[in-house]
Amino acid sequence: MLFTAFAMAGAGAHGASAGHVACEKQFKRLSKGAVTAVPEVKDWGDAREYYFAWNADAGQLQTRGGKASGSCIIDRRTGKGFVSMNAQDLGDFVAPAPL
């Protein structure tokens, strides 16, 4: 499935890529507004997926309750993805094509 999250091949910073934009939207939606800002971080994914991680070393998600860690993975072909915050699954989603 999408669990090639730690593959480093092809990793590169994409700035405000389509993947990052989709992740930001889903963090805000699935957290029911708790996430207020999703800083741009390096895309650690590969040709098959976007993989973004927010932690103490790579910025942090901004929430109404303070800073949080999180991750977002999206399959580039299907648009299926999921987000987690502070090691808790927030949910799955399908990002609109194209990615």
Decide: 65 and 56 in contact? Cβ < 8 Å. Answer: no
Mean per-residue pLDDT, 21-28 = 96
* pLDDT over threshold 90, residue 3: no
How many whole angstroms separate alpha carbon 88 and alpha carbon 99?
25
Within 8 A by CB and 6+ apart from 76, the residues are 19, 45, 47, 48, 49, 50, 99
- Would the pTM of this model clear 0.75, i.e. be above it? yes
CA distance 48 to 54: 20
Residue 56 in this model has a pLDDT that exceeds 60? yes
